[in-house]
Amino acid sequence: MPVENVVETDVLVIGGGMAGCFAAIKAKERGVDVTLVDKGYVGKSGQTPWAGSYVLFNPEWGDNLDAWINQVTTVGEYVNNREWTEIVFQDSYARYQDLVSWGVEFAKNDEGGLFRSTTSLGPCRAVHMEPRGFAEILRKQAVKKGVRVLDRIMVTNLLKQEGKIVGAIGIPMESYDLYIFKAKATIICAGAAGFKPAGWPISELTADGDAMSYRAGAEITGKEFVDTHGTSADYPAMHAHGMPPMGAKGPPRHKVINAEGNEVPGRGTLFLEMEFEAHAGRAPLYFETPGGKSIRVGGASSGMSVHKAEGIWPADTSGATSVSGLYAAGDSLGTMQMGAVYGSIGCALGGSSVTGARAGVAAAEYALQAGKPTVDEKELARLRKIVYAPIERKGGFSPRWVTQVLQNTMIPYFIMYIKHGDRMQAALTIVEFLRDHLVPRLTAGDPHELRLAHETKNMVLNAEMRLRASIFRTESRGCHYREDYPRRDDPNWLAWVTLKEEQGSMKVLKKPIPKKWWPDLSKPYEERYPFRFPGE
């Protein structure tokens, strides 16, 4: 018989990467009871163990705030939320000091001082830690502070009562038991949202946080700005196979050479230049490393957005969302801190630590005021039915097969990278069929497959979100490129796109960007946007 475990807590944190650990630790420091739950193992979770750069701003070192914000704004093509861009820079030093006090070591320069790397993009600087090592330090710190850490439980649904989030339910990896978390406040730190792509280690990041929040009434943003991390084309399943490892002094720098032997001009950050080359028939493409080695490269991280673009729409700058009792941080919070292009090294971890800490504090303060959460038995019964439906069905479709069909629909470059309204509409027709006909018939034969079934359901929702947001934005901007609208359209699209469930269907909304953040429209277009899209 499956066992129902009830966990009562003040603050529930879902996901244990950089954001989740910071959220849990900072909430705990406010004197509330904190539970941190992760689908995998806190310390190995999400993209955190793969990252090693941390943006670090300090005016005492001569860093100029306006110049730093300007770098992100111009590279990010004016759709960054400048308030959040500034907050991340301003708070980065305090969070860096937290990391140092917990024992995280940062790379030194040759003179023995702190090594601060910079890029060709502008003045922003980052410091570097050894990837993989520091995530375990975050876990140890959370445990030491008294956070209850629960590993290998997939949270599937949020619990909502009278318009407020009062916890969540989840399933462990190795049994049909159920976990019922009754929480005064809940923080989503479940990371980015991919389609189990080859070559980028995010196969566990299946839009779970976005999906459960969307289904609970939250608005989701940033789905149109795609991330473009690449991988080896010879061994596409293995992250960075054959590439120089990410060292203690930042990611390797390399040139991209096309099939004609010419260097592919780039922006110096993650952008669509490889996809443009492939589309023009100039693939295969090669990375030429400083050591002179050539590595054949292909596209990879299909599904996720530019860091901090996608996620739950923030209600303010505390980490709160538009739903009472629901908070978010890290790649789960759509701060639009970077805008349409990833414009500075280290902002992924920097943003996650800053938003994590803020959400932790805000959720703890909310929990201190909130009453004991009550959960309606009727609502629990409804959710139990949803959670276990795939094991109750006698027949239907396996999650692995539906995922494969989804990947075949979404991953080829001409859907989400080189976009066109007609092709996206065609993909949306398929995705709607998956949503309406296959997802309601997903089956599972064991607890592992039950996890897969919920992941598949979430990925199908993520696909619909990406397509609808991308169809809606009838322009090109940063990492959202449409062949049928190859120019930026400032008068109409200095705006963010959000998605919200209304009466069972997905509504697409436009949120205008404050005019004070607009570029100077009296300047010629070419001056505002130095990078040309193909077809402009």
Partner 1 sequence: MSIERIDSELCNGCGICVKSCPMDVIRMDRESKKAVIQYPEDCMLCGFCVQDCPQNAIYISPAKSSPFIVSWG
Which residues would be at the binding site for partner 1 (CB under 8 A)? 39-41, 44-45, 49, 132, 151-152, 173-174, 196, 198, 201, 203-204, 232, 235, 237-239, 241, 397-398, 400-401, 404-405, 408, 448, 451-452
Are residues 275 and 315 in contact, defined by beta-carbon separation less than 8 angstroms? no
Q: Which residues of 7-43 are buried (b: 16+ CB within 10 A; e: fewer)?
A: bebbbbbbbbbbbbbbbbbbbbebebbbbbbbbbebb
Instruction: Provide, rounded to whole angstroms, the least separation between the CB of residue 50 and partner 1.
Output: 8
Instruction: Provide, rounded to whole angstroms, the least separation between the CB of residue 46 and partner 1.
Output: 8
Comparison of 237 and 521: residue with beta carbon closer to partner 1: 237
| Coil/strand/helix, residue 250 | strand
Instruction: Provide, rounded to whole angstroms, the least separation between the CB of residue 165 and partner 1.
Output: 26
Comparison of 177 and 501: residue with beta carbon closer to partner 1: 177
Comparison of 151 and 275: residue with beta carbon closer to partner 1: 151
Comparison of 438 and 499: residue with beta carbon closer to partner 1: 438
Phi, psi of 146 (to 5 degrees): 100, 15
Are residues 251 and 268 in contact, defined by beta-carbon separation less than 8 angstroms? no
Are residues 123 and 74 in contact, defined by beta-carbon separation less than 8 angstroms? no
One-letter amino acid identity for 368? Answer: L
Helical axes 377-392 vs 447-472, angle rounded to 10°: 100
Instruction: Provide, rounded to whole angstroms, the least separation between the CB of residue 365 and partner 1.
Output: 32
Comparison of 165 and 198: residue with beta carbon closer to partner 1: 198
Cα(43)–Cα(95) distance, rounded to whole angstroms? 18
Distances 497 to 83, 345, 425, 508, 513 between C-alpha atoms, Å = 18, 25, 18, 7, 10
Cα(54)–Cα(91) distance, rounded to whole angstroms? 12
Instruction: Provide, rounded to whole angstroms, the least separation between the CB of residue 41 and partner 1.
Output: 4
Comparison of 423 and 451: residue with beta carbon closer to partner 1: 451
SS3 content of the chain, % helix, strand, coil (to 5): 35, 25, 40
Cα(453)–Cα(451) distance, rounded to whole angstroms? 5
Instruction: Provide, rounded to whole angstroms, the least separation between the CB of residue 398 and partner 1.
Output: 6
Instruction: Provide, rounded to whole angstroms, the least separation between the CB of residue 151 and partner 1.
Output: 6
Comparison of 269 and 332: residue with beta carbon closer to partner 1: 332
Instruction: Provide, rounded to whole angstroms, the least separation between the CB of residue 172 and partner 1.
Output: 10
Comparison of 20 and 373: residue with beta carbon closer to partner 1: 20
Among residues 337, 366, 332, 364, which one has the least CA distance to residue 351? 337
Vertex 201: Cα angle to 198 and 202 (nearest 5): 95
